[in-house]
Structure 1
Amino acid sequence: MRTHVVDHPLIIHKLTQLRRVETPSNVFRDLTGELVSLLAYEASSSMPVEPVEIQTPVTEMTGSQLAGPKPLVVPILRAGLGMLDGMTAMIPTAEVGFLGMARDEETLNIVTYAERLPEDLTGRQVFVLDPMLATGGTLVEAIRFLERAGAARITCITLLAAPEGIKRLEEELGDLDVELYTAAIDEKLNEKAYIVPGLGDAGDRLYGLAE
């Protein structure tokens, strides 16, 4: 389990705009896509490549292309869906699957209500998209699900993370080949398990329900 905080100036700037309470949902969606593309650039840096012979306008040469099998992008519904366009803009050849998971606000337990994935993930790199790593329950369940399906390597991309969520991932998934890329690690969780200072409910802000 490895955690990477990507503190590029563009990421820091866009994240600050994302946090602002006055940022409208349409701008929030645009900023989310831009942030995910920047995070995806870093998160995909170790993807395997293979040589390929090509013809340029001048001569033949040996270049490189992404090696198979195709990576799989898995947004966790619903908020992760708002990150999908930014991810596929960087890796347009990736396949897309979906996991529907939600936190019960009373018990804080994770409920899986939908799943649409290839039957066999053997040997594949999977990118999991979820805007907020709060308690860590959703990502833990998603990663376990994907690992059981045979995923060779799992990379999680979040906009924000709380120390409590990172600690839970390390304690429960420390022996798996998992990486986390995030734009920032915030201070803590509050009594309602929201990230502080955070940016509110990412799903509501993405889809205009917070306005």
Structure 2
Amino acid sequence: MSSKINVSSHPCVRAKLSQLRSSSISPRETRALVHEIATFLAAEALANNLTVVEAGQSTTALGADYTVETVSEKVVLVPILRSGLGMIEAFNSILPTPAAVHHLGLFREKVSLSPVEYYNNLPASGTSAHPADIAIICDPVIATGGTAVAAIQTLRDWGVKKIILCSILGAKGGVEHAANEWPEGVEVYMGAVDPGTNEKGMIVPGLGDIGDRLFLTIGK
């Protein structure tokens, strides 16, 4: 796969993902595992893409002077509705300051499996001279890659300098499709990659419909 695709080798990620695959775990456990795996992925993605800069001087509780450090990049989080919401807190808990969250609503049309946008709350073009240095797309599953590609296109048009696509699990072809949409501007961080999808575009063995599992809408 592309060098832009980073698949976690962390033993805890592998073990937790194995737990998440199981149909026997509760919705509460599902939410917790998605958050925990996303935290590992966030730590790796942010470590590789943020730059520390000095931001002045301050004083410790003992009266000693020290140099304040922060990150220089402006980061925004872009969850793909619905399931991407389950990953947001992991990133915001690691970032030194909370990031703006801009939601994208995309679903796959059932026959063609093509992405359809139904919601977009990115600020209108021209309302900000500096949209973001890094936009982090949070989507737990990349199956065909169509939804991820549509989100990348939208954010690129908005004017972000770099995109990090973060997913718990992806199908090999879909992940490569997303990574190749903007090779110089996209990095992908995955918990694991499965071989492919079935005729309905679902990853096999996969996680099932993670949105339904997170939000208790199975059988809707």
TM-score band w.r.t. shorter chain:
over 0.9
Q: Which residue of 2 aligns with 1:116?
A: 121
Q: Distance in 2 between matches of 1:186 and 1:55?
A: 50
Percent of aligned pairs with the same amino acid: 35
What corresponds to 2:7 in structure 1? 5
**Cα distance, 1:51 vs structure 2:** 0.6
Could you tell which deviates more after superposition, 26-35 or 122-131? 122-131
- Give secondary structure in 2 for the equivalent of 1:118: coil
Tell me what 2:52 maps to: 49
Residue pair 1:32, 1:86 contacting (<8 A) in 2 also: no
1:115-139 residue CA offsets vs partner (Å, 9 max, x unmatched)? 1123345452111000111100001
Q: Does 1:89 align with 2:93?
A: yes
Q: How does 1:123-142 map to 2 (within 5 A)?
A: 123-142=132-151
1:205 aligns with one of 213, 216, 220? 213
180, 202, 210: which is aligned to 1:194? Answer: 202
Where in structure 1 are there 5+ consecutive unaligned residues?
Answer: none
Runs of 5+ unmatched residues, structure 2:
none
Equivalent AA in structure 1 for residue 17 of structure 2 = L
Give the length in aligned residue pairs.
209
User: Secondary structure in 2 aligned to 1:184?
Assistant: strand
Inter-partner Cα distance in structure 2 for 1:157 and 1:26: 22
Aligned match of 2:104: 99
Aligned to 1:168: 177
1:159-196 per-position Cα deviation (integer Å, ceiling 9, x unaligned): 0011111221244332x310000100112111111111
2:52 matches 1:34: no
Give 1:79's aligned residue: 83
Distance in 1 (CA, whole Å) between partners of 2:175 and 2:29 is 28
Match of 2:70 in 1: 65
Give, in whole Å, the separation in 2 of the partners of 1:170 and 1:178: 6
Does the 8 Å contact 1:157/1:181 carry over to 2? Answer: yes
Deviation at 1:83, TM superposition (A): 1.5
1:34 deviates by: 1.0
Q: Distance in 1 between matches of 2:188 and 2:73?
A: 22
Distance 1:180 1:170, change over 3 A: closer
Distance 1:135 1:34 in 2: 25
**2:22 counterpart of 1:14:** no
SS of the equivalent of 1:164 reads helix
Q: Alignment partner of 1:185: what SS?
A: strand
Q: Which residue of 2 aligns with 1:147?
A: 156
- Rounded to whole Å, the distance in 1 between the matches of 2:174 and 2:73 is 32
Q: CA deviation at 1:209?
A: 2.1
